[in-house]
Amino acid sequence: MNLQGALPMGFNWRSPQFLRLTPVMAGILLLYIPSLHTLLTGIWSSDEQAHGPIILAIACWLIYRKWGEMVAATTEQEGSAWGWLPVLLGLLLYTLGRSQDILLFEVGSSIWLMAGLLLLLRGKRALMMMWFPLFFMLFMIPLPGPVVDALTLPMKTAVSYVAEHVLFWIGYPIARTGVMLQIGQYSLLVADACAGLHTLFTLEALGLLYLNVVRHDSAFRNMMLAILIVPISFTANVIRVMVLTLITYHLGDAAGQGFLHGFAGMVLFASALLLIIGVDSLLRFGGSEAKTEVPTGSNP
């Protein structure tokens, strides 16, 4: 199998450009191996932050996907000394975050460091071409606990409220107290992992990734879809809570907390993706309708 032929144009394992970057990439890898071990054995192993390694893997794929085009469009002569500023800031944040156990600084430093190295080695154009992978990495940064707690409770309350009213309208015997749902003889607590801020962030990342991969020509369509990702994420959370509630009501508490709980997580992402595609299709239909309109009073 010819790996070089399968790589994007300009990405050559033996090229001088890649070989010169090898020590830099090896240094970054060695620097962040302890951080990755801490994250994978700690916060990323929890339900709330399980999206972290997925975001990192997708960001690496996005960089790989764009690398050949970036190398072909830029030269080493375009490198700017201004790249030292974000590099030094990234190293400072890493040192502070690692020594003081502040994950926000420790993980976030990687974005500054990579942005600075791109600017230093390949220039402004390279940084602009890689802006989305770097921006996407923001979704893997663990947020401060107080911020998460302050925003999660209102979100869980809103999701519980909507789920209760929809199921009651359908005809199920359901009541709600705060974020506690009572359906039949079962009581369900809407947990942070079901309708919290982290779940919303994950779905936001999914929507932005969809926008980046599809790449519509219409700026209006992209902007509207980006705005509608927020209510789409909320709706997907409501669907997940409703599915878990119905599983518990019909199949029992063991089913709701067992394997089918994980299945409800897949329902969350599947429903979010389907909603994004559906809304995108509606926006495309509206855009095509607008294009077919002929202005009145125009000359033939």
pLDDT digits over 47-60, tens only?
A: 667 778 888 888 98
What would the pLDDT profile of 206-257 be if each residue is shown by its tens digit?
888 888 888 777 777 878 888 888 888 888 888 888 888 888 888 887 766 6
Q: Which residues have CB under 8 Å from 300's CB, separation 6+? A: none
Closest-CA residue to 180 (of 164, 168, 198, 196) = 164
Q: Is the pTM of this model over 0.95?
A: no
Catalytic residue among 122, 221, 240, 284: 240
Instruction: Give residue 258's pLDDT.
Output: 65
β pairing state of 174-177 and 180-183:
antiparallel
| 44 pLDDT higher than 90 | no
* pLDDT: which is higher, 86 or 27: 86
Under the banding of pLDDT at 50, 70 and 90, the label for residue 132 is very high
Q: Is residue 218 helix, strand or coil?
A: coil
| 193 pLDDT higher than 70 | no
Instruction: Give residue 131's pLDDT.
Output: 92
- Of 68-72, 136-140, 281-285, the range with the highest mean pLDDT is 136-140
How far apart (Å, rounded) are the C-alpha atoms in residues 8 and 190?
45
What would the pLDDT profile of 247-294 be if each residue is shown by its tens digit?
888 888 776 666 555 665 676 777 788 888 888 888 777 655 444 444
Q: Encoding tokens for residue 161? A: 């409220």
| 194 pLDDT higher than 70 | no
Q: Encoding tokens for residue 234? A: 């909320």
Instruction: Give residue 294's pLDDT.
Output: 42
| 200 pLDDT higher than 90 | no
Q: Is 240 a catalytic residue?
A: yes
Catalytic residue among 194, 215, 221, 284: 194
Q: Is 60 a catalytic residue?
A: no
Q: Which helix (H) or strand (E) holds 68?
A: helix 52-73
| 174 pLDDT higher than 50 | yes
| 4 pLDDT higher than 70 | no
Instruction: Give residue 90's pLDDT.
Output: 93
Mean pLDDT of all residues in 164-190: 88
